[in-house]
Chain A
Amino acid sequence: MITRFCCALLLLTAAACTGHLRPAPPAPGAASPSTAESRSTAELAAAISAAAQRSDNEPDSKIRAELATQAGSDAQACIARDPQAAACLYGRAVALGLSARAHPTRAGEFLNNMLDDLARAESADSHYDEAGPARVRALVLIRAPGWPLGPGDIEAGLVAARRAAALRPLYPPNLLALAEALAKNGDAVGARESYARARDAALALPAAADKDQWLREADQGLQRK
């Protein structure tokens, strides 16, 4: 019905929480013939990150589904190689986010598993990917539909966003996530402050594509009333 239908749509939004990942090398498989099993944990994690970044900008749902499948395969290989590594747990969480976007009818299940993996990744190494486990957890919780249709919980999302910002206070995506969480919780003043801090932090970084994107997001947030 409409409620479930909208839930699926929101889950799509939540599934697109894999942005702001550590910059990755060029897309996997394009030049390297190596199999997933032969690659190192770092290579597999980078491949998952690359798939997530390509998926974020990919309008074709079939290609997004292929990227999700590839990322899932890389995540499984990573977990098989090092089941307790934050990189692999975080990578599998990211891959699950891609799967949620590619298969919206199963998005709730994928996102719940994603949150489990993020919790385990945070326990293993909370600083991984500039406090990525807490940051991505926050984005899922504030963007997913709320109880009982989905795992969304804006209050828990704000707690996670604060944790990420405390761990890496100068990393703009953490401040952007905190701003979004504050706004969702009705703290417009706090959200503006956080967007301003994100802008300042981004301006202090060397020129890069990510920097431009973070500045755009901060500016958009500051323009919202």
Chain B
Amino acid sequence: MSTLLAASLATLVFCAPGYPGGAGDAQPLVDQFANAAAAAAGWPAGSLAAVYDPTEAGGLAKLGQADAVLTFVPYPFYVEHAAQLHLAPLVQADVADTGPQQRWTLVAKSGRITGPASLSGFTLLSSAGYAPDFVRHSALQGWALPADVKIESTGQVLSALRRAAAGEPVAVLLDQTQAAALASLPFAAELKTVLQSPEMPVALIATVESRVTAARARAMQAGLLKLGHDPGGTDSLGPLRLRGFVPLKLPSPTAP
């Protein structure tokens, strides 16, 4: 009975805080992906549903429901909530234009930041600001941030960079796409890269709260890894700007 329930009520929760978007238009795309993933894993047809939520709170609420067995989240979300939700990563996403790994880059007004101590009194803005543990201990690992540094989430990175360039006590943590585009800004010369993180996953798929059996998780892992090589699978990946999935390459844990 429990196997039957697990087979019919399994849901993959997509959550992307910091990159808000409407869920309605997303549904056909995540449905298509869920069907392809289930097929690749050998799960029964129709046994995996999918749902998308653009907010951290909404995503956490959905992940708290009993049917949430898998999640597709950015790496900062994983770092922030892996322990709380007992997330066990299966694979990491190979993202079109970025790849499976990326570095995060801290930028500030030229000459303002010479070391961690000079960030005292600063506000650190980032699309990953909802995940302060990620910011402190992953992206800026090795830097002991002063206690008065505020870490805030923003979806308006351009505004944050303008504030930094204008001399406000603001530093901005950029993902790889944002950092690569920095030079295109008319005020780029006012900004300077302060620090770059080691490479880390862009996003990953993980099991949630051990709600799926080990055997089914292994089957899903194997299915996802071959999804990018299967014509049926690539059709479901393209709309999500994914090339496929690759084995995990997680950074070594750092002390909080």
Task: Pull 21 A–B residue pairs with CB atoms less than 8 Å apart, ordered by A.
Answer: A1-B93, A1-B95, A1-B242, A2-B74, A2-B203, A3-B16, A3-B19, A4-B95, A4-B96, A5-B21, A8-B21, A9-B22, A10-B20, A12-B22, A105-B239, A145-B19, A146-B156, A146-B159, A147-B185, A148-B180, A153-B158
* Chain A interface bracket (under 10, 10 to 19, 20 to 34, 35 or more): 20 to 34
Contacts of B240 in A (CB 8 A): 1-2, 4-5
Instruction: Across the interface, name the chain B residue whose C-beta is closest to A147.
Output: B158
For residues 1 through 60 of chain A, which have their beta carbon under 8 Å from a beta carbon of chain B? 1-10, 12-13
- Beta-carbon contact of A154 and B25 below 8 Å: no
CA distance A10 to B156 in the complex (A): 14
Q: Within the complex, what minimum Cβ distance (angstroms) separates B133 from chain A? A: 19
- Beta-carbon contact of A3 and B162 below 8 Å: no
- Beta-carbon contact of B162 and A6 below 8 Å: no
CA distance A24 to B50 in the complex (A): 41
Decide yes or no whether B155 CB sits under 8 A from chain A: yes
Decide yes or no whether B250 CB sits under 8 A from chain A: no
Contacts of A149 in B (CB 8 A): 19, 177
CA distance A3 to B21 in the complex (A): 9
Known contacts A9-B25, A148-B181, A149-B177; A2/B159 CB under 8 A:
no
A: which residues have CB within 8 A of B?
A: 1-10, 12-13, 104-105, 145-149, 153-155
Decide yes or no whether B130 CB sits under 8 A from chain A: no
CA distance A178 to B184 in the complex (A): 28
Q: Within the complex, what minimum Cβ distance (angstroms) separates A16 from chain B? A: 10
Known contacts A1-B203, A9-B26; A146/B157 CB under 8 A:
yes
- Beta-carbon contact of B25 and A12 below 8 Å: yes
- Beta-carbon contact of A6 and B54 below 8 Å: yes
A1, A6, A148, A155: the one within 8 Å of B21 (CB):
A6
CA distance A145 to B21 in the complex (A): 9
- Beta-carbon contact of B158 and A1 below 8 Å: no
Known contacts A2-B74, A2-B203, A6-B16; A148/B184 CB under 8 A:
yes
Q: Within the complex, what minimum Cβ distance (angstroms) separates A57 from chain B? A: 15
